[in-house]
């Protein structure tokens, strides 16, 4: 036990004397803090365009209160130009006789969605657009159907007005249900029509920390190969070398885990401190195990060649900055090959 403590002390001092490790750890902390500071109190909204001749739908969209901000365009060409230039995220072109076509059951090509291939905002704006159309058209359809029925022929105009009033009442939460919600972060400064940018940086910051921890674990494997080739541990019995190898990989990884957890703390991301600590420990252990196995089944050259593959693959494939699995479903299987993916699963 005394030898193990001595080894741990020597290996820890060795790691802390490496300028490269200190530089990587500082980069991780500084990057986390920088993203936090730069995004503080910064809000944004998402612009979506539309073309329609239906005044009711136009009014509802222009008065929409929420994350999406709708802008009206006069022609399809103007809308297409705005989408192409990224002035708006996407746009909708409603057929000129939209309501009449809807009433007559002619539902084909009523709405045209214009967006760029990489756009995913339409997943959200589609719901808002459908909700708006239902809100506007459903009442008119209800009144029209009521008036078209023989037993509603003698209904007074006042009752028709009341029908619209009741529809508006029961289509909201006035007589059904309501709920309250609290912001995830105490310094949330957004409103119903904006989003706090930092909310969307939480995942990237955690992902960056996960990548840094994985990189340092991989460098621990390189340290083992370097020491092995230089016969640094020639006097160490063969039976004890596997454990020594585990220490060489584990110690820099543990240091990175502590620095990563500190980065999340100072960046204001840790709301559940014990949970985040457990997640970091579990993920760090996974990095150690994978690095140990990988360095055992490959030689130094193959191992070194795999490091940039793992780093680039983690950045591109893992759901850190953008989840490609939302667009390419099979990508979720490729994501499982890279450890930062599992950091979000604990």
Q: Given CA atoms 327, 331, 336, 338 in this order, what sign does their dihedral have?
A: negative
In contact, 303 and 292? CB cutoff 8 Å: no
Q: C-alpha dihedral over 292, 295, 297, 303, to 10 degrees?
A: 140
Per-residue model confidence (pLDDT) at position 330: 80
In contact, 40 and 187? CB cutoff 8 Å: yes
Per-residue model confidence (pLDDT) at position 185: 46
In contact, 83 and 121? CB cutoff 8 Å: no
Per-residue pLDDT reduced to its tens digit, 97-122? 887 777 777 777 788 999 887 677 77
Q: How many angstroms separate the CA atoms of 170 and 163, rounded? A: 11
Which tokens is 88 given?
């708006």
| H or E element, residue 72 | strand 68-72
Per-residue pLDDT reduced to its tens digit, 7-54? 677 777 777 777 877 887 888 888 877 776 665 655 556 889 999 988
Which tokens is 274 given?
């014990």
Per-residue model confidence (pLDDT) at position 195: 52
Look at strands 195-196 and 43-44 and give their pairing: antiparallel
Per-residue model confidence (pLDDT) at position 286: 95
Length of the chain: 346
Per-residue model confidence (pLDDT) at position 187: 47
Q: Given CA atoms 185, 190, 194, 196 in this order, what sign does their dihedral have?
A: negative
Per-residue model confidence (pLDDT) at position 72: 92
Per-residue model confidence (pLDDT) at position 192: 46
Q: How many angstroms separate the CA atoms of 64 and 76, rounded? A: 21
Which residues share a beta bridge with 93?
A: 51, 112
| H or E element, residue 161 | helix 157-170
What are residue 268's phi and psi, to 5 degrees?
A: 80, 25
In contact, 269 and 202? CB cutoff 8 Å: yes
Burial of 42 (0-12, 13-18, 19+ CB in 10 A): middle
Which tokens is 107 given?
């539902």
Per-residue model confidence (pLDDT) at position 146: 67
Per-residue pLDDT reduced to its tens digit, 316-334? 888 887 777 767 778 888 8
Angle at Cα 123 formed by Cα 180 and Cα 331, nearest 5°? 115
Nearest to 336 by CA among 315, 321, 320, 314: 314
Per-residue model confidence (pLDDT) at position 92: 93
Which residue ranges form the domains of the chain, and what is each CATH number?
2-39+198-343 (no CATH), 46-193 (3.40.190.10)
Contact residues for 103 (Cβ-Cβ < 8 A; gap 6+): 141, 144
- The list of the chain residues with pLDDT below 50 reads 176-179, 181, 183-193
Helices (H) and strands (E) in the chain — how many of each?
Answer: 13, 6
In contact, 54 and 136? CB cutoff 8 Å: yes
- Residue 151: DSSP 8-state: G
In contact, 233 and 11? CB cutoff 8 Å: no
């Amino acid at each position: 036990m005394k030898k193990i403590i001595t080894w741990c002390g020597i290996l820890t001092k060795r790691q802390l004397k490496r300028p490269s490790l200190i530089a990587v750890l500082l980069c991780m902390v500084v990057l986390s803090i920088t993203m936090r500071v730069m995004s503080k109190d910064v809000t944004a909204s998402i612009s979506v365009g539309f073309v329609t001749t239906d005044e009711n739908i136009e009014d509802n969209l222009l008065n929409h209160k929420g994350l999406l901000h709708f802008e009206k365009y006069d022609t399809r060409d103007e809308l297409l130009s705005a989408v192409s230039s990224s002035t708006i995220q996407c746009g909708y072109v409603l057929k000129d006789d939209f309501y009449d076509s809807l009433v007559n059951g002619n539902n084909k090509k009523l709405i045209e969605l214009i967006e760029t291939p990489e756009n995913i905002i339409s997943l959200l704006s589609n719901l808002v657009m459908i909700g708006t159309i239902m809100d506007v058209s459903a009442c008119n359809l209800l009144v029209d159907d009521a008036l078209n029925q023989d037993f509603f022929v003698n209904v007074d105009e006042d009752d028709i007005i009341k029908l619209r009033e009741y529809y508006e009442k029961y289509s909201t939460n006035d007589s059904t249900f309501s709920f309250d919600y609290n912001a995830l972060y105490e310094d949330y400064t957004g409103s119903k029509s904006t989003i706090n940018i930092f909310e969307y940086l939480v995942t990237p910051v955690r992902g960056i920390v996960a990548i840094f921890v994985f990189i340092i674990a991989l460098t621990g494997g390189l340290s083992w190969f370097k020491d092995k080739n230089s016969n640094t541990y020639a006097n160490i019995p063969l039976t004890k070398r596997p454990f020594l190898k585990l220490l060489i990989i584990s110690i820099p990884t543990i240091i990175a885990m502590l620095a990563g957890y500190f980065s999340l703390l100072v960046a204001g991301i840790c709301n559940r401190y014990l949970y985040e600590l457990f997640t970091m420990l579990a993920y760090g252990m996974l990095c150690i195990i994978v690095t140990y196995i990988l360095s055992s089944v490959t030689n130094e050259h193959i191992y070194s060649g795999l490091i940039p593959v793992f780093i680039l693959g983690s950045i591109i494939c893992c759901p850190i900055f953008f989840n490609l699995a939302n667009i390419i479903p099979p990508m979720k299987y490729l994501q499982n090959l890279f450890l930062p993916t599992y950091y979000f699963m604990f």
